[in-house]
């Protein structure tokens, strides 16, 4: 969002010069600016970039942060709700599996205790004598979730702003524009693009 104060430099600034009206400089331009002070034999003080927001922007920032925190807390509650649903499903699966396994145990115990068998037992007896009891290791399908994906919706602002305000607040110089600038877009590299 900040721009290096050196004309046509597109690098992001890292320092500001306290002597030169808090001008911002990138790494390369900081060295050049120091040399300028040495040549002019003037004092210079470079410090970390600090800035103030207007009262309106600071209020908006704080209100948005409060809203973000409320949404984060809501998300935490939604995660708990979904986890409880999954936990209930797993509990139900376990209960069903145990009921089936207990039924199998009962069936085997019934046959185990008998000395005399009925015709209906023949198939089960042959199955037991010929086979082996082996279960596949219990497997729960992987649980995947999107729990913290955050979407920030950017509000589009339409307002008339003076040339001086654009220069002072955003560091943009509107040269060559005779009519209104109808839109301002921010590129991926956080540099401003002005469209007439």
Q: Are both 29 and 64 inside the same structural domain?
A: no
Q: Examine the domain organization and report whether 9 and 47 are in the same domain.
A: yes
- The pTM assigned to this predicted structure is 0.51
Q: Per the domain annotation, does 119 fall within a domain?
A: yes
pLDDT category at 61 given cuts 50, 70, 90 is very high
Per-residue model confidence (pLDDT) at position 132: 82
| Same domain for 81 and 34 | no
Terminus-to-terminus CA distance in the chain, angstroms? 20
Residue 163 sits in the same domain as residue 110: no
Q: Name the CA dihedral angle for 41, 43, 46, 52, rounded to a multiple of 10 degrees.
A: -130
Q: Are residues 77 and 122 in the same domain?
A: yes
Give the range of the structural domain holding residue 190, as residue numbers without chain letter.
156-196
Percent of the chain with pLDDT over 70: 74
pLDDT of residue 179: 65
Higher-pLDDT residue of 165, 187: 165
Q: Which of 151, 149, 140 is nearest to 79 (CA)?
A: 149
pLDDT tens across 125-147, in order?
A: 888 888 888 888 888 776 777 77
Residues 60, 125, single domain; the answer is: yes
pLDDT in tens, 4-44: 888 788 888 888 887 787 788 888 888 888 888 888 888 88
Average pLDDT over residues 152-158: 58
Q: What phi, psi does 48 have (nearest 5°)? A: -60, 150
**Domains held by the chain: number:** 3
Mean pLDDT of the region 86-109: 92
Q: Do 71 and 33 have their domain in common?
A: no
Task: Give pLDDT tens digits for 107-117.
Answer: 899 989 988 88
Q: Give the per-residue pLDDT at 196.
A: 43
Indicate if 64 and 87 belong to the same structural domain.
yes
State how far the alpha carbon of 118 is from the alpha carbons of 111, 123, 124, 127, 177, in Å: 10, 10, 11, 15, 101
């Amino acid at each position: 969002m900040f721009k290096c104060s050196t004309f046509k430099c597109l690098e992001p600034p890292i320092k500001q010069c306290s002597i030169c009206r808090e001008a911002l400089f990138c790494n390369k331009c900081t060295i050049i600016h120091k040399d300028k002070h040495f040549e002019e034999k003037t004092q210079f003080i470079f410090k970390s970039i600090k800035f103030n927001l207007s009262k309106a922007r600071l209020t908006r920032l704080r209100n948005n942060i409060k809203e973000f925190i409320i949404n984060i807390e809501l998300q935490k509650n939604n995660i708990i709700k979904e986890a409880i649903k999954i936990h209930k499903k797993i509990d139900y699966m376990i209960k069903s599996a145990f009921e089936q396994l207990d039924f199998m145990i009962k069936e085997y115990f019934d046959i185990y205790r008998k000395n005399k068998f009925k015709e209906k037992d023949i198939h089960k007896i042959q199955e037991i004598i010929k086979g082996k009891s082996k279960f596949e290791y219990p497997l729960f399908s992987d649980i995947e979730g999107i729990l913290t994906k955050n979407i920030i919706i950017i509000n589009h602002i339409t307002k008339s702003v003076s040339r001086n305000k654009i220069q002072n607040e955003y560091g943009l110089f509107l040269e060559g524009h005779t009519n209104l600038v109808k839109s301002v877009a921010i590129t991926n590299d956080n540099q401003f693009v002005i469209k007439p």
